Chains A and B, each alone.
Chain A
Amino acid sequence: MGQLIFETVLNGLQFGIFLFLVAAGLTLVLGIMNFVNLAHGSMFMMGAYVAAWIFEQSGNFLLAAVVALPVILLLGIVIEYLAFRTIYARDHLDQVLATFGCILFFNQMVLVVFGAESQEFKLPASINFPFPLFGFTYPFYRLIVIIAGILVAVGLYLAITRTRVGMRIRAGSSNRAMIGALGVNVTALYTIVFGIGAALAGFAGIMIGPIESVESQMGEEKLILAIVVIVIGGIGSIRGAFIAAIFVGLVEISGRVFMTDILRAILEEEFAQTAGPALASMMIYILMAAILFFKPEGLFPARTG
């Protein structure tokens, strides 16, 4: 039992860090640019697809990851330039419609270009083996995901708090009109922010693609979870996204593992089997509702923290 709890915490941590990678880009774009980008999940998917394709051609995972990342950054910048730049001034519903259209476009595009089958994206045994850890084995690659995610989180934190671009981003999230008046090129700043957001989603796709299944529509479910994370964390706050992501990850994973057993203690077997998974999948939404009840702006509203 002790081992299962330890493993579950580790799983929750890994899932949380992955959620942070997806949510960080979304919170930047929504918080700083006030732009609702549903196509964020598509950037996640494209990251996985591009990396899978390069991996298939080269057989080198590191190369695939290193090359796919700037490709998605560029893709984000191109989409921002071609499509989204024109709709910043529109209201949120227009943005939802336009970016939802992008989801449909990318989902169908990968079907046309890569075919309907899930892509072959298999990690080499050298980085994906059962790693002995305190008397049990844990997939080594998931440990890499945890470390890479923490490095990205630290890097992002330093970039935003310690660099000039980061300062402008923070300023932009506090008062858009003012930094424009002070002579900051807001258009260029938005392009950079959008590109970074896309690259973060792409990075999450690159990291998680080989574990899960690289296929059309893989981004949508992650998008929903990412929205939950940024709403809990406070829109626009990287720190909030990180803490909320870890929190959501732990709640989600432990709910999946323990909820049925907990219900079994108080309910009949048959009912626990049905209610357990249902309740487990609702946990994070219940959590979100509870947090919003007490802190309507989320845990770390960007404007104050």
Chain B
Amino acid sequence: MTNRILGAAAIAIAATAPIGAQSAELRIGFINSLSGGAAIIGKHQLNGWMLGLESEGWGKNGDMLGGVPMKLFTGDDQRKVDVGLRAADKMLKSDKAHIVAGIIWSNILAAVQRRVIKARRIMISTNAGWSGMAGKSCSPYFISTSWNNDQTPEAMGQLINQDGLKNVFIMSANYQAGKDMANGFKRYYKGKVAGQILYKLGARDFQAEISKVRAAKPEALFIFAPGGMGVAFVKQWAASGAGKNIKLYTVFTVDHLTLPPIGEAAVGSYHTNYWQPDSDRPANVKFVKDYMAKFKSMPSHFASQAYDAPRLIAATLKKMGGKFSEGNLLAFAKAMRTTPYDSVRGSYKYNVNGFPIQNFYKREVIMGADGKPTIVTRSTVFTNHIDSHWEKCPKKNRYPAQVSAN
């Protein structure tokens, strides 16, 4: 009897002993807005993220990512700060995640990053480009595979200068990001502002505003109207006939998510973006082809930047020889900022605050050969564009200490 108990105890102890030979498992939490308003962005981000993992040979928990077994946890923040914090806490405490990735909305990033960085884990943004993160809240534990909020409208201001327009009307949604967009635009735009409207966030009927824009007789309209607002606006703009005399320039309004429901009405409008959907770079061609094959729709920039994140992680792990130290995630985070990888946007460098220094392009919506509107790249507006907040990032939190754009 005693022998049997001892035997069982021995087996039990053996089973709990650590298996020394294997390298540590990497645990990643991916948080996104998968329900609630604008769930479509979350869907594209998750699609891109999973496809990126797949391109690195990872299909299920325990598969290798960059030579390290990886376990994935996913969470839904429902576009609410408190829900996002709860998801992050679960990942940090019970799942013991090394990396928390994802996050679409700037206000959620602002809250979640603090927890993650305080726990000395790595925070990767695949979308939210909160300016505080680029400035005074910057941290070497943070990295972005998207952009800083201001960069895209800055490129728009520059583009309108390049297009020789000197009298532009500005419309944006009345909330923080909307004001940031207008300010980012004005930072580069040199001409006259014909008028400015801050419309109600969530608005769906813009006929009143369109009448006002038309009465001001500008050369062009610059508008920021993400999601359903943009769908409604662009359709109404076309139906009003205002586009006959006024050119339409947008940011985060017309993209591959909103183009199908907007349709023909968007043809002839311009926008700026860091991603060239029609680039013939091999990584991009493969991404677009694989995405279309798997999800039966054109990917968006939301998908492309989420696709890049796991590829950057894998490239960094490979560079570190398939090893990483749980106790020193800072070394891993820093290595991510200097590891070249095969991004769908082409190679780019990281600024001292973890935001990409990247090109921005002028894109136009044209009627495709198949009778459906499509987005093409027209020209490069900015080469290696640096965000305008990095100087506010405290010196001790900068990595690398200095960056040259090329």
- A interface vs B, CB < 8 Å? 1, 3-4, 7-8, 11-12, 14-15, 108, 111, 115-123, 128-130, 136-142, 210-218, 221, 253, 256-257, 260, 273-274, 276-278, 281
Q: How far is the CA of A216 from the CA of B240 in the complex (A)?
A: 26
Contact A120 B260 (CB under 8 A): yes
Contact A213 B228 (CB under 8 A): yes
Contact A212 B207 (CB under 8 A): no
Q: How far is the CA of A210 from the CA of B205 in the complex (A)?
A: 11
Q: How far is the CA of A142 from the CA of B42 in the complex (A)?
A: 34
With A116-B39, A256-B208 known as contacts, the answer to whether A273 contacts B232 (CB < 8 A) is no
Interface hub of B42, B196, B228 (most chain A Cβ within 10 A): B228
Specify which chain B residues have a CB less than 8 angstroms from the CB of A278 in the assembled complex: 174
- Interface 0/1 of B237-267, CB less than 8 Å to A: 0011110100000000000011011111100
Specify which chain A residues have a CB less than 8 angstroms from the CB of B197 in the assembled complex: 260, 277
Contact B204 A256 (CB under 8 A): no
Q: How far is the CB of B108 from chain A (nearest CB, A)?
A: 18
Q: How far is the CA of A121 from the CA of B242 in the complex (A)?
A: 21
- Interface 0/1 of B201-227, CB less than 8 Å to A: 010110111011011000000000001
Q: Which of B174, B202, B232, B235 contacts A221 (CB under 8 A)?
A: B202
Specify which chain B residues have a CB less than 8 angstroms from the CB of A111 in the assembled complex: 35, 39
Contact B37 A217 (CB under 8 A): yes
Taking the complex as formed, is B192 at the interface, i.e. its CB lies under 8 A from any CB of chain A?
A: no
Specify which chain A residues have a CB less than 8 angstroms from the CB of B209 in the assembled complex: 256-257
Q: How far is the CA of A281 from the CA of B244 in the complex (A)?
A: 30
Q: How far is the CA of A278 from the CA of B231 in the complex (A)?
A: 24
- Interface 0/1 of B337-377, CB less than 8 Å to A: 00000000000000000000000000000000000000000
Q: How far is the CA of A4 from the CA of B258 in the complex (A)?
A: 30
Specify which chain B residues have a CB less than 8 angstroms from the CB of A276 in the assembled complex: 198
With A11-B208, A139-B207 known as contacts, the answer to whether A213 contacts B200 (CB < 8 A) is no
Taking the complex as formed, is B136 at the interface, i.e. its CB lies under 8 A from any CB of chain A?
A: no
Sorted from nearest, which 9 A-B pairs have the closest CB atoms?
A130-B241, A137-B241, A213-B228, A139-B239, A116-B39, A212-B204, A7-B211, A213-B231, A4-B215
Q: How far is the CA of A274 from the CA of B209 in the complex (A)?
A: 16
Contact A118 B228 (CB under 8 A): yes
Query: What are 18 A-B contacts with C-beta separation under 8 Å?
Result: A3-B215, A11-B208, A12-B208, A15-B207, A115-B40, A118-B231, A118-B258, A121-B261, A122-B235, A139-B241, A211-B236, A212-B205, A212-B232, A213-B204, A253-B207, A256-B199, A256-B209, A257-B211
Specify which chain B residues have a CB less than 8 angstroms from the CB of A138 in the assembled complex: 240
Contact A119 B207 (CB under 8 A): no
Specify which chain B residues have a CB less than 8 angstroms from the CB of A12 in the assembled complex: 208
Contact A4 B35 (CB under 8 A): no
Specify which chain B residues have a CB less than 8 angstroms from the CB of A7 in the assembled complex: 211, 215
Q: How far is the CB of B269 from chain A (nearest CB, A)?
A: 15
With A118-B258, A211-B205, A213-B228 known as contacts, the answer to whether A128 contacts B239 (CB < 8 A) is yes
Specify which chain A residues have a CB less than 8 angstroms from the CB of B40 in the assembled complex: 115-118
Contact B208 A122 (CB under 8 A): no
Interface hub of A120, A212, A257 (most chain B Cβ within 10 A): A212
Task: Supply 15 further A-B pairs (C-beta < 8 A) apart from A8-B211, A116-B42, A120-B263.
Answer: A1-B215, A8-B208, A11-B208, A117-B260, A118-B228, A118-B231, A118-B261, A119-B261, A120-B261, A130-B240, A139-B240, A211-B235, A257-B209, A257-B211, A273-B196
Q: How far is the CA of A189 from the CA of B360 in the complex (A)?
A: 63
Q: How far is the CB of B208 from chain A (nearest CB, A)?
A: 5
With A137-B240, A212-B232 known as contacts, the answer to whether A142 contacts B207 (CB < 8 A) is yes
Closest to B212 in A: A257
Q: How far is the CA of A253 from the CA of B205 in the complex (A)?
A: 10
Taking the complex as formed, is B187 at the interface, i.e. its CB lies under 8 A from any CB of chain A?
A: no
Q: How far is the CA of A205 from the CA of B258 in the complex (A)?
A: 20
Q: Which of B198, B208, B215, B228 contacts A215 (CB under 8 A)?
A: B228
Q: How far is the CB of A53 from chain B (nearest CB, A)?
A: 13
Q: Which of B207, B215, B240 contacts A14 (CB under 8 A)?
A: B207
Q: How far is the CA of A280 from the CA of B227 in the complex (A)?
A: 23
Closest to A137 in B: B241
Q: How far is the CA of A120 from the CA of B209 in the complex (A)?
A: 23
Specify which chain A residues have a CB less than 8 angstroms from the CB of B205 in the assembled complex: 15, 211-212
Specify which chain B residues have a CB less than 8 angstroms from the CB of A141 in the assembled complex: 239
Specify which chain B residues have a CB less than 8 angstroms from the CB of A4 in the assembled complex: 211-212, 215
Contact A221 B215 (CB under 8 A): no
Q: How far is the CA of A11 from the CA of B215 in the complex (A)?
A: 14
In chain B between 63 and 86, which residues have their CB closer than 8 angstroms to a CB of chain A?
none
Taking the complex as formed, is B398 at the interface, i.e. its CB lies under 8 A from any CB of chain A?
A: no
Q: How far is the CB of B117 from chain A (nearest CB, A)?
A: 31
Taking the complex as formed, is B385 at the interface, i.e. its CB lies under 8 A from any CB of chain A?
A: no
Q: How far is the CA of A64 from the CA of B200 in the complex (A)?
A: 31
Q: How far is the CA of A8 from the CA of B39 in the complex (A)?
A: 34
Q: How far is the CA of A8 from the CA of B210 in the complex (A)?
A: 10
Q: How far is the CA of A260 from the CA of B212 in the complex (A)?
A: 12
Q: How far is the CA of A15 from the CA of B240 in the complex (A)?
A: 15
Specify which chain B residues have a CB less than 8 angstroms from the CB of A15 in the assembled complex: 205, 207-208
